Structure formats: structure tokens, C-alpha cells
Chains A and B, each alone.
Chain A
Amino acid sequence: MNKKYLVIGIGNIYRGDDGAGVLAARALKARPDVPLDCVDIQESDGSAFALMELWRGRGDVVIIDAMALAGKKSGELLVFDGRRSLLPLDQFRVSTHAFGLKEAIALSGSLGALPKQLTIIAIVGADFSMKEGLSPAVAAAVQRWVNEFPSSLKAALGHSRRTNQRSTDARNVTDEQLSQSGPSNR
């Protein structure tokens, strides 16, 4: 059964802050105030075809992923509309070893198969080296989002749209910054 909302935490927990999305998804799933009958919470390594398969036929999808964004401080939480951003496609012309979130959005867009709403929560990471554990600012950002998400979800369930989730920062994320996203997009 397709639940109304799908949350996908993307990342690799063995690459420092890149694990933020996956750890956020796990923490969210463990909370008693998240209505799992309405929300499907999944983890992903971020490969494009797996993401496309996860969100195929879904109406409302939230992606949480660590990113390296120029000009942003680590631990910042940025929210933007995955359907509207013009993502750079240079990587799509190279190896499928590097097909990730951007490519999944682009290809789903071409196929007319994007979810009706695709919200991307970007946690600005600092350290993507090969180790387990998040840097303090990123761990705090994950906790902040996990604490806030249930109430915004309740509001969304009540109002069908989660416009109250969008932060002012979302309007400040440029396509150029997205093109510099970190290893979780690989």
C-alpha cells in the first residue's frame, strides 16, 4: 500500500557527515509521534534508479540528504522544491557509476514521473571523510529536523500541503550551489 508520504534519507554512514540523511531517517522512524501508517520512511544510497523506483507513483516525497554547498555553514538546514530547481546535467553524460539524486530528478522529469511534491532537505555537511559519526553541527541539525518534522507533518496531513516547512533559506539556494553538492549525490 502506498502511504501518503515518503521520506527518503540518503547517504553513506561510513562517510562522516554524508550519513546525515540516513541517520535522520532512522531517528525519525524511532519516534513514537511519527504516524507510520501515513509515512513511509526509507533509506537509500542515493543511486538514481533506486531513487526513481522508490518515488515512482508517490504523491508527496521528502528527501533528506547531506550536501556540500558553497557559501553555507555546516549544520545549516536548507529546504527547496526538487521539482522546480534546474539541476546541472553534465554528470549525466558520463559514467552511470555517478548517477545520483540530480540525475534521478532529471530523468524522472523527462519521463513525467516526478512525485507531485518533491521537497529536498539539505543539511550542509563539513566532513565527508571515511569514518562513522557526524560532526557536531551536523548532528545537531539532524536532531533539530527530526524534532520539528513530526509537527510539520501533522500540519501537512491536515492541510495537504507543507508550505510551512519551507524556510527562507530555500529561496537562497542557487543552482550553482546545487551543482557543488557533496558525495551523497554520487
Chain B
Amino acid sequence: MAKRTTKIIKVNYLARVEGEGALTVRFRSGQIEDLQLKIFEPPRFFEAFLRGRSAVEVADITSRICGICPVAYQMSAVYAVERALGVTVEEPVALLRQLLYCGEWIESHALHVYMLHAPDYLGYPDVVAMAKDHPREVERGLAIKKAGNAIVTVLGGREIHPINVRVGGFYRLPHKKELDALVDLLQHALEAACDGVRSVSTFPFTQALAPPELVALQPMLSNDAYPMCEGRIMSSAAVSADVADFEQTFEEIQVPYSNALHSIVKGGGAYLTGPLARFHFHQSKLTQRALDLISECSRHQLDLNQYNPSQSIVIRSLEIVHALETAIAAIKSYERPDKPCKDIELRSGTGMAATEAPRGLLYHRYSLDDDGRILDAKIVPPTSQNQRAIEEELRMILTGKAAMSKAALSQLCEQAIRNHDPCISCATHFLKLTIEDLDGLSGVDASAN
């Protein structure tokens, strides 16, 4: 009779991710018996806070959900409320919103690529240790992040939790010279970002995996651009849905071990949103410098068309280039509109919107009463949507690895999770790993935290 062994891997506090969570993997006789990505940060109750508040407050309340991606919350919130009120913002305002969003993509991606993710490939426990040997990489990340912050500061009113976005437009529009003053900084960051793509594309990557169902926005034909602020929802399987049908297409389910809900495709299973999905569908719509860099990568035998989460650092870096070029173009074409905001009339209605946060699709729905007060709110953040797909990916990666050492397994799991830049703060924070060999019969250390 075969010897039965049980081994449990627990990452009790996942490092270098945004927020607090844990991972437990239980092996029995070399097979994965259970795997749980646990988000133990307490529930945030934002959907409940919103009830009874005026619809005009959504941008300022929801931006507090996250200090890394507040603009994403503002964008999905205002577009959803505007749909409920029957308001469509004019192109110059929409363009400014896209510019603000570019600022957030740049700062959020730079933070993850250079401060959190790069140490995995270069073999350091954290960016402080990495900075001693690779100061240029870190300085590059800081320069890029500074450019993103500058956009958010000028357009959003301040660096973190911007205060200038409102339903119908903005509170204050920047003068052209204020935006023009950013161009040199953005150009400098663009050159740094291009060097960054060349650098990260030489990192050692693991093997490609079978892809999960990938989900991203599909911009309207009239705006056939890389997705950011609008579009239908599409998937690599059968999904093609209007954003208004999000809740008929996907469902959230409770799992006992996590304070964040899991999202699945109705009648289906896990799916993944974010840079890997956006790139899969829309890489041809990236800006020219990004496309040129993809060609450069392929000349160096880097295949970005396969599903390889360890290459997400390259894709994020390409999205930084795209966001910087998009931002520079938006500034150059900017003409200050007469009014910062459309007149809005508060009334009853329901509106839904989804935008592409740095980490993936972010869906909001608001139902309003006759006075425009929020009766019901629903917010589905990307990390919540990606949790199950990350769990399934970990199962795939860990299959056949039960005999590896605790340290090696822990590193493997943590890096696999960091490939997806989860924001646990949004999904409710992160990450705690434990490896245990309950019987003490396998080749790994027992009960480690």
C-alpha cells in the first residue's frame, strides 16, 4: 500500500503585494488536496457606506477604497452614475479623464514592476536590497512613477485620492500651459520606460501555461483603442456582453476562507482580467513605441503571444509605454473646454460602468432614488475577479512539485501571485504561506510559517 503523506504550505503573510492575505496549500500523497488564497483583511463595507449618499459623492467616497488605484474607482463610479442620469460627457472631458487614468496606470505599474516584482527576477528579498546592486532599475522606476504622479496631481488636484473628478466632468479644468509643462517630464519617463521594457524582457521567465478564460473590455468600433475607459465585455471563450449585462454574465460567490468574494462566469468558472487579458486581445492597438518594442522582444526570441504570467512584468512595462505615449498625445491635442462640467439633474435610475483599472476590469453599478440618492451600489474589483483564476493557476504550477523544499515552494507561490499584482486592499489586503508535512514523511520541512 502506498504511503500517505500530508503536506500543508502556508504563506501566512504574502509579501510585496498590495494589502494583506495568505495562502494555504495542502498536499496529500504528493497531490494537491486543497488550495486557498485567503484574503483576511476585514470587509470594507463601501457598498453599504454609499447607500443613502448623494450620487454626486461617488467619486470622492469610492476613491478611498485604494491609495494605489483611486482614479479607477472614480472613473467607474462617475461613468456609472452618469449612465443612471442619462449624461454623456463631451470628448474633451472624456480625453482628460483618459489622461488622468493614464497617470494612474503609469504610477501603479511602475510601483509594481520596479518596487515589488523585479526583485523576484533579480534574486532579492526586496527593493531596498535590490537598489544597492541595481540602482539604475530603481531610479528608472522612481522617474516613471514621478511622471504618473505629476499627471494625477495636476489633473486630480493631489497625488493620492484625487479630488477633482465629479459626475458630469471635473471641478476645475487645467489650463493648457499646466499640462504642457508636464510634457518634458513625460518624454523623459517615456525613454526610461522603453529602456525598462528592454531590461525586464531579459529577465528569466518560467514556462508558458494553459490560459484561463481571459476577460477585458472591447472598445467601441468608433474608438478602436487599447481599452481603458469604456467598451463591451469580451472573453476568450464565449462572453460578449454589454457592461449593463455584467451581473447577468458573471456572479460573485462567497467562500468561507476569504473576506473577498470570488467572481466566476455564470455557468462557467474562473476568469482573469488585467494586463495579460488586455494584451491578449488588444496588443495591436498599443501605441507605436510599444509595438516597436514588441517587435524588438520577438527578435530576441521573447514570445509574448503565449500565456505566460511570469512575463506579465514585460506586458505591464509595455502598458507604461502605451500610457505615457497616450498621455503625451492627449496633452498635445488638449484645448481647454468652456465648461468643466455638464449640468446634471438628479433623478432616479440605474447605471453600470466598467473601466480597465491597472489590475483589470472594475465594475460599478448604482441605483438611485428620485432625489439621486444611492439606493443600492455594487462594486466588483479586479482582484476579487482574479482570485479563483490565481488559485487555479497555483494548482497548475504546483502539480508535481510536492517534493520541493518549503523555501522553494513558498517562493514559487509568492512569485506566481505577484505575477498578477493583486490589490488586496481593493478586494477587501495580503499574504501569509504555510508549508506543513503533517505526517513528517515527505521531503519537506514540517509546519512552517
Interface residues of A (CB under 8 A from B): 45, 47, 49-50, 52-53, 89, 92-97, 103, 106-107, 109-112
CB-defined interface of B86-124 with A at 8 Å, one 1/0 digit per residue?
000000000000000000000000010001100000000
In the complex, which residue of chain B has the Cβ closest to the Cβ of A45? Answer: B160
Chain B proximity of A178: nearest CB distance (Å): 16
Chain B CB within 10 A, most for which of A50, A52, A96: A96
Give chain A residues whose Cβ lies under 8 Å from the Cβ of B16.
93-94
> Told that A45-B160, A97-B429, A107-B138 touch, could you supply 10 new A-B pairs with CB distance under 8 A?
A47-B159, A49-B146, A89-B126, A92-B126, A95-B20, A96-B68, A103-B128, A110-B129, A110-B135, A112-B135
Partner of A95, one of B135, B138, B146, B429: B429
CB-defined interface of B192-216 with A at 8 Å, one 1/0 digit per residue?
0000000000000000000000000
Report the number of A-B residue pairs with Cβ-Cβ less than 8 Å: 64
Give chain A residues whose Cβ lies under 8 Å from the Cβ of B17.
94-95
Partner of A92, one of B111, B128, B160: B128
Q: Is the interface of B mostly helix, strand, loop or mixed?
A: helix
Q: How far is the CA of A89 from the CA of B127 in the complex (A)?
A: 11
Give chain B residues whose Cβ lies under 8 Å from the Cβ of A112.
135
Q: Are B127 and A107 in contact (CB under 8 A)?
A: yes
Give chain B residues whose Cβ lies under 8 Å from the Cβ of A89.
126, 128
Q: Is the CB of B19 closer than 8 A to any CB of chain A?
A: yes
Give chain A residues whose Cβ lies under 8 Å from the Cβ of B115.
96
Q: How far is the CA of A94 from the CA of B146 in the complex (A)?
A: 21
Q: Is the CB of B340 closer than 8 A to any CB of chain A?
A: no
Q: Are B116 and A96 in contact (CB under 8 A)?
A: yes
Q: How far is the CA of A93 from the CA of B132 in the complex (A)?
A: 16
Q: Are B68 and A92 in contact (CB under 8 A)?
A: no
Q: Are A52 and B135 in contact (CB under 8 A)?
A: no
Q: Is the interface of A mostly helix, strand, loop or mixed?
A: helix
Q: How far is the CA of A111 from the CA of B125 in the complex (A)?
A: 16
Partner of A97, one of B18, B126, B128, B146: B18
Give chain A residues whose Cβ lies under 8 Å from the Cβ of B18.
95-97
Q: Are B430 and A95 in contact (CB under 8 A)?
A: yes
Q: Are B132 and A49 in contact (CB under 8 A)?
A: no
Give chain A residues whose Cβ lies under 8 Å from the Cβ of B429.
95, 97
Give chain A residues whose Cβ lies under 8 Å from the Cβ of B219.
none
Q: How far is the CA of A45 from the CA of B67 in the complex (A)?
A: 12
Q: How far is the CA of A95 from the CA of B135 in the complex (A)?
A: 21
Q: Are B126 and A95 in contact (CB under 8 A)?
A: no
Q: Are A49 and B135 in contact (CB under 8 A)?
A: no
In the complex, which residue of chain B has the Cβ closest to the Cβ of A112? Answer: B135
Chain A proximity of B197: nearest CB distance (Å): 21
* Given A52-B142, A111-B131, A111-B138, A93-B160 contact (CB < 8 Å): no
User: Would you list which residues of chain B between 149 and 194 have a CB under 8 Å from chain A?
Assistant: 149, 159-160
Q: Are A111 and B135 in contact (CB under 8 A)?
A: yes
Chain A proximity of B120: nearest CB distance (Å): 12
Q: Is the CB of B262 closer than 8 A to any CB of chain A?
A: no
Query: Can you name 16 A-B residue pairings with CB atoms under 8 Å?
Result: A45-B160, A47-B159, A49-B145, A92-B126, A92-B128, A93-B16, A93-B125, A94-B17, A95-B18, A95-B20, A96-B116, A97-B68, A106-B128, A107-B131, A111-B135, A111-B139
Q: How far is the CA of A103 from the CA of B131 in the complex (A)?
A: 12
Q: Are B128 and A107 in contact (CB under 8 A)?
A: yes
